[in-house]
A and B are shown apart, each in its own frame.
Chain A
Amino acid sequence: DQQVKQNSPSLSVQEGRISILNCDYTNSMFDYFLWYKKYPAEGPTFLISISSIKDKNEDGRFTVFLNKSAKHLSLHIVPSQPGDSAVYFCAARGMDSSYKLIFGSGTRLLVRP
């Protein structure tokens, strides 16, 4: 039973255009949502997060949107750069004190020059 789903395994966009990565969740008991970026042969690195009490968080070229009623979040990258090519994981954090993360299966983004 996947609590966090990323239904698009891959996405290809032109440099300079917008990249939109999507994530759906099934459990209402998450208090934070995070995006991690992963390059080959490296560990995931934190990109941006959003609290469940907000609907938008922005950090430079990266914006995360949260739609609680639809249990959906998205990551927007504008403008996309070739260095953004990586696998992006959506993760959700439970409300208990363990701060465990539940990860989606990832979306591989390719930004074409």
Chain B
Amino acid sequence: NAGVTQTPKFRILKIGQSMTLQCTQDMNHNYMYWYRQDPGMGLKLIYYSVGAGITDKGEVPNGYNVSRSTTEDFPLRLELAAPSQTSVYFCASSYGGETQYFGPGTRLLVL
């Protein structure tokens, strides 16, 4: 089991560019989550999904979009990147209310 994998590990974007952060899990988890972590801060929830085809906003959804067409994948889309989106992004998955397992993160720098 690879667990939760995220690509890319690191990316530099110019202001106004767009990109997709990939997240895949091989644990057959129904719940998946996207968090961002800013320096010195805790993780804040961007979007989450309780199953394929079902997504909902978290605490900080503005500037992001998600889709969940399969159980395994939960990509996060950034449209019109802004410097405020410079952060480390973590994807997590869980089986219902069980422990959330996190990926290694994607470090994004918007210049």
Binding site for B on A (CB under 8 A): 4, 6, 9, 32, 34, 36, 41-46, 49, 89, 93, 97-106
Contact = CB atoms under 8 A, between A and B. Distances in A.
20 contacts: A4-B42, A6-B42, A41-B104, A43-B102, A43-B103, A44-B43, A44-B90, A46-B100, A97-B50, A98-B48, A98-B50, A100-B48, A101-B33, A101-B43, A101-B45, A101-B100, A103-B42, A103-B43, A105-B41, A106-B41
Contacts of A46: 99-101
B87 interface: no
Contact of A43 (B41, B45, B58, B104): B104
A9 B41 CA distance: 10
A32 B56 CA distance: 21
Contacts of A98: 31, 48, 50, 56
B94 interface: yes
